[in-house]
């Protein structure tokens, strides 16, 4: 039997401390220990991309990380993408506008992937959009309305930020 370990990390800006088995994936840790059920399990073997979170700002599959590995790291889940006042972010709002989801199960993973894309590429073409979401499966939408959401979100974000302020 393995020894449990102490870990401390930040989740959505909030410090979390726990004592867990090393085999606890970050996915299970977030859902079961931290109680954030927005991140979903699709396959638990790293293919579907539904479980994506940001680790120190970088999107990764949380089913392929053990929580103990994240000691000291900052993790952002889909809940962490929510605006503080409860209103929808431009990306969330765009997904609602174009109906870029149906059952919602892949949506957290999609939002994480899209958040990362638009943080680095404010004007992605369709190929860049497909590349960004290509590792996240959706079985409901056929991706069309998701791609529309990303285009819409990108346009709105570009409008909101004066061109000279965008980090090149």
Partner 1 sequence: MSAGSFRQIGRKQRVREDRRFVSGDGRYVADIIFPNLAHVALVTSPHACARILAVDDSAALAAPGVVAVLWGDTLAAATKPLANSLDTPGVECYPLAVGVVRYVGEWVAAVVAETRQAAEDAAELIAVDYEPQAAVLTAETALDPASPPVHAGHGSNVLYNRTFVWGDVDAHFAEAAHQLGFRAVWRRNATVPLETFGVMARWHAGDGLLDVWASIQMPSYPEQIAGALDLKTSAVRVHYDVDVGGSYGVKRGIKHTVLVGHLTRLLGRPVRLIEDRLENLVGGDAHGPDRLFDVAVAYDDRGAIKSMRLRVVEDVGGHTGRAPLQLGKPVSAIVGPYRIASVAYEAIAVSTNKTGQTAVRGFGQAPTNFVIEMAIDKVARTLGLDRLAVRRRNFIPTEAFPYLIPSGSTYDSGDYHTVLDKAVALAGYEALEKKRDALRANGLLAGIGIATCLEPGGGNSAFEPLLNPKNKTTTWPESCRISVGRDGAVSAFITTSTAGQGHETLVATIVAEELDLPFDAIRVVHSDSLSGLPGNSPVASRMAIMLGGAATGAARKIRDQALAIAGRQLDREPTELELRDGFAQVKSAPAERIAWTDIAFIAHRFDHLMPAEQEPGLQASFVWQVPMGGALPSADGRVQMYPCYSFAAHIVLATIDPDTGVVALPDYAIAHDCGTVINPDIVKGMVLGGTAHGIGAALYETFLYDETGQLITGSFADYPMPSAHEVPDIKLVEHCTPSPHTSHGQKGVGEGGYLAAPAAIASAVNAALAVRGLEILTLPMRPVDLEALLNGND
Partner 2 sequence: MKAAPFDYVRASDIDEVCRLLHDADGEAQIIAGGQSLVPLMAARMARPALLIDINRITALSGIVVEDGHLRIGACTRQRAVEQSAEAANACPLLTKAIGQIGHIQTRNRGTVGGSLCQADPASEIPLVAVTLGATLTVQGPSGERSLPAREFFYATMTTAMASDDCLTAVTFPVWQDRRVGSSFHEVSVRRGDFALVSAAAQLALDDDGVCRRAVLGLGAVAPCPIFLESASKALIGHTPTDDDIDRIAAMAVAQIEPDSDVHASADYRRRVAPKLLRRALNDALVEARSKPS
Interface positions with partner 1 (CB under 8 A): 1, 21, 23-24, 31, 36-45, 47-48, 50, 77-79, 81-82, 88, 92, 95-108, 111, 126, 129-130, 133-147
Write out the two tokens for 168.
């090149």
Segment lying near partner 2 (by CB under 8 A), choices 47-55, 82-90, 141-149, 158-166: 47-55
Within 10 angstroms of residue 35's Cβ, the number of other Cβ atoms is 7
Segment lying near partner 2 (by CB under 8 A), choices 59-67, 92-100, 139-147, 160-168: 59-67
Q: How many helices (H) and strands (E) does the chain have?
A: 5, 5
CB nearer to partner 2: pick between 8 and 83? 8
CB nearer to partner 1: pick between 113 and 163? 113
Distance CA 146, CA 130 (A): 10
Distance CA 156, CA 147 (A): 14
C-beta of 97: minimal distance to partner 2 in Å?
25
Distance CA 53, CA 30 (A): 10
Interior angle at CA 109, CA 107 and CA 112, nearest 5: 105
C-beta of 86: minimal distance to partner 2 in Å?
28
Residues across the chain: 168
3-state secondary structure of 140: coil
What is the binding site for partner 2 (CB under 8 A)?
1-3, 5, 21-23, 25, 28, 44-47, 49, 52, 58-61, 63-66, 68-69, 71, 113, 116, 131-132, 134-135
């Amino acid at each position: 039997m393995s020894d449990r370990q102490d870990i401390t990390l930040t989740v959505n800006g909030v410090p979390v401390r726990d004592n867990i088995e090393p085999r606890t994936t970050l996915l299970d840790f977030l859902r079961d220990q931290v109680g954030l059920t927005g991140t979903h399990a699709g396959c638990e073997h790293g293919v579907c991309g539904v479980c994506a979170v940001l680790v120190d700002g970088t999107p990764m599959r949380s089913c392929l990380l053990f929580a103990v590995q994240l000691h000291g790291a900052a993790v952002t889940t889909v809940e962490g993408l929510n605006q503080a006042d409860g209103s929808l972010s431009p990306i969330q709002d765009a997904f609602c506008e174009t109906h870029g989801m149906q059952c919602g199960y892949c949506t957290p993973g999609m939002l994480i992937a899209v958040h990362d894309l638009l943080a680095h590429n404010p004007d992605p073409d369709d190929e860049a959009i497909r590349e960004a979401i290509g590792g996240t499966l959706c079985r409901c939408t056929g991706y069309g309305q998701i791609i529309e959401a990303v285009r819409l979100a990108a346009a709105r974000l570009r409008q909101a930020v004066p061109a000279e302020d965008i980090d090149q």
